[in-house]
Chain A
């Protein structure tokens, strides 16, 4: 199409041999654009404006009422606990009759059991529920296993990026705010109940985060199906002036209480001790449920099966095993 400029001329050339008037041409242009818009409307869905779209949640509820069973998901059916220990030292100063308080050796101890359930079945008898967030922050997760893993991984990456950007050690309240805003945004549909603990420049912190996004700051906390059993131990045994070893003992007792008194928790005890500048991840710190009867003969085929030949290949020759290595770090 050849259009000779705008202007006062009412005659435009479409082609050398065709001439239409300006208003007809403009009408044609608008008509074409209208058709294009109509076609695009049916092909592309306009995205909803702002917020999170909960339409599928309404559909799921409707289906559930009609009797359609949702697929079962793996839960970490659980006991998770956290405890802050701060050794207080009082010094009485003779001259000025005053006393000062020193905090020696303070930090946070997190504990968890290791059973993951799928309805009535134990699907993982030694899973890891204490997740890495930052070198100085760890998080225990109860609820839907996928949700706790995904949410802690996501916030861990966000913290890492923030560390690169700011050049400073991550703070526990940062992780707390990132987690709670994410969980609140999803209105409780992300079923992750977390116990977040760590030591940063401001001191040791322990927080609980509920699936709907509310948080608590506490000296001792428990979550999960075994939380009542563990809380009964904490309420009777916790006191402010604890040493690191006393703290580990109380946390182990609380988790054992959950393991033996709650059906959703079981197997072993994991402990993570975080102090200023140092952390210790004690995987399977206690194994109170050992396999009691193990056949010393090992496995043997039944007598009806004839063993024709035996060949033993030690795999150590074929495969290089990397020893140690902190699986938790990046």
Chain B
């Protein structure tokens, strides 16, 4: 979904329209985001890399942000579109606060708003090139959902975007269970992020984990995972046959 098109499109038809601004391909992209429900709320993990095509251009991009009091948003894909979405949501939360009626927008409402925004943009052939993960807790109810760049949305106990769908979701399907403790949930997320670090070329070893519960939202400081490269077979792959490869 968030594939990077390295060759500019030969779209003579569309470029002939003067002043038309359509998103054709993403430039600065973030890789996968993973989110899981655990006993007290939602945990999300994302690394801090922003790739410009095949270069790792930015290494301190925060892709997890809190929205209002009750939600947490993580995004993969085009970073500038993510910043635009944050502006939309800022306006939304501000207007909600101005009502001053004691109600605040919960994760379900924000998820629905994002779905409408993404779907409408896609219908105009000008998508926001992101896959979003939205999680939160309101009135004891945990909510975890995802929206893709074309407006596909659903809600589940564990979600992932991009490469996380192929590498992390099999692990989560096997090992996630109801009422994970905080430590177990962090271990599970780190297991998934480690596999992504090994096997996704645009992942970097600098990640943040964000936690949201009924009481508080915390986004951790960036840290890195321990990796293991010391397999004996890696040391001398041609041990059995000199000169081969």
Closest-by-CB residue of B relative to A177 is B244
Given A202-B241, A205-B240, A261-B170, A231:B231 Cβ within 8 A: no
A160 sits at the interface (CB 8 A): no
CB pair A228–B167 under 8 Å, yes or no, is yes
Determine which residue in A84, A176, A228, A229 has the highest number of CB atoms from chain B within 10 A of its CB, and name it: A228
Docked complex: A198-257 residues within 8 A CB-CB of B: 200, 202-203, 205, 215-219, 228-229, 231-233, 235-236, 240, 253, 257
CB pair A203–B195 under 8 Å, yes or no, is no
- Closest chain-B Cβ to A259's Cβ sits at a distance in Å of 10
Docked complex: A3-58 residues within 8 A CB-CB of B: none
B234 sits at the interface (CB 8 A): yes
What residues on B are CB-neighbors of A84 within 8 Å? 233
What residues on A are CB-neighbors of B231 within 8 Å? 219, 240
What residues on A are CB-neighbors of B195 within 8 Å? 231-232, 235-236
What residues on B are CB-neighbors of A274 within 8 Å? none
Given A228-B167, A229-B166, A235:B233 Cβ within 8 A: no
Mostly, the B contact residues are helix
CA distance A228 to B167 in the complex (A): 6
| Binary contact track B151-182/A, C-beta < 8 Å → 1, others 0 | 00000000000010011111101100000000
CB pair B240–A172 under 8 Å, yes or no, is yes
CB pair A232–B170 under 8 Å, yes or no, is yes
What residues on A are CB-neighbors of B245 within 8 Å? 215, 217
- Closest chain-A Cβ to B71's Cβ sits at a distance in Å of 28
B191 sits at the interface (CB 8 A): yes
Q: Number of residues in B with C-beta < 8 Å to the partner?
A: 26
Given A176-B244, A215-B245, A231-B199, A236:B238 Cβ within 8 A: no
CB pair B239–A203 under 8 Å, yes or no, is yes
CB pair B232–A240 under 8 Å, yes or no, is yes
CB pair A229–B170 under 8 Å, yes or no, is yes
CA distance A237 to B135 in the complex (A): 29
CA distance A219 to B192 in the complex (A): 21
Which listed residue (B170, B174, B233, B244) contacts A219, Cβ 8 A? B233
CB pair A236–B244 under 8 Å, yes or no, is no
Given A172-B240, A235-B199, A219:B234 Cβ within 8 A: yes
Size class of A's contact patch? 20 to 34
CA distance A229 to B168 in the complex (A): 8
CB pair B173–A173 under 8 Å, yes or no, is no
What residues on B are CB-neighbors of A231 within 8 Å? 167, 195, 199
B222 sits at the interface (CB 8 A): no
What residues on B are CB-neighbors of A184 within 8 Å? none
B63 sits at the interface (CB 8 A): no
Closest-by-CB residue of A relative to B172 is A232
| Binary contact track B222-234/A, C-beta < 8 Å → 1, others 0 | 0000000001111
CB pair B167–A232 under 8 Å, yes or no, is yes
B111 sits at the interface (CB 8 A): no
CB pair B233–A217 under 8 Å, yes or no, is yes
- Closest chain-B Cβ to A175's Cβ sits at a distance in Å of 11
Closest-by-CB residue of A relative to B167 is A232
- Closest chain-B Cβ to A86's Cβ sits at a distance in Å of 8
B58 sits at the interface (CB 8 A): no
What residues on B are CB-neighbors of A200 within 8 Å? 240
CB pair A217–B237 under 8 Å, yes or no, is yes
CA distance A171 to B239 in the complex (A): 13
| Binary contact track B201-245/A, C-beta < 8 Å → 1, others 0 | 000000000000000000000000000000111100111110011
Given A173-B244, A228-B199, A261-B169, A236:B239 Cβ within 8 A: no
Given A217-B237, A218-B233, A236:B191 Cβ within 8 A: yes
CB pair A203–B170 under 8 Å, yes or no, is no
CB pair A202–B191 under 8 Å, yes or no, is no
A281 sits at the interface (CB 8 A): no
The 28 sampled A-B contact pairs (Cβ below 8 Å) are: A172-B240, A202-B239, A202-B240, A202-B241, A215-B245, A216-B237, A217-B238, A218-B233, A218-B237, A219-B233, A228-B163, A228-B167, A228-B170, A229-B167, A232-B168, A232-B171, A232-B199, A233-B170, A233-B174, A235-B198, A235-B199, A236-B194, A236-B195, A240-B232, A257-B170, A260-B170, A260-B173, A261-B173
| 5 further contact pairs, Cβ within 8 A, besides A84-B233, A217-B237 | A173-B241, A202-B240, A217-B233, A232-B192, A235-B198
B residues neighboring A (CB under 8 Å): 163, 166-171, 173-174, 191-192, 194-195, 198-199, 231-234, 237-241, 244-245
* Closest 9 A/B residue pairs (Cβ): A202-B240, A219-B233, A217-B237, A173-B241, A228-B166, A229-B170, A261-B170, A235-B195, A232-B167
A residues neighboring B (CB under 8 Å): 84, 86, 171-173, 176-177, 200, 202-203, 205, 215-219, 228-229, 231-233, 235-236, 240, 253, 257, 260-261
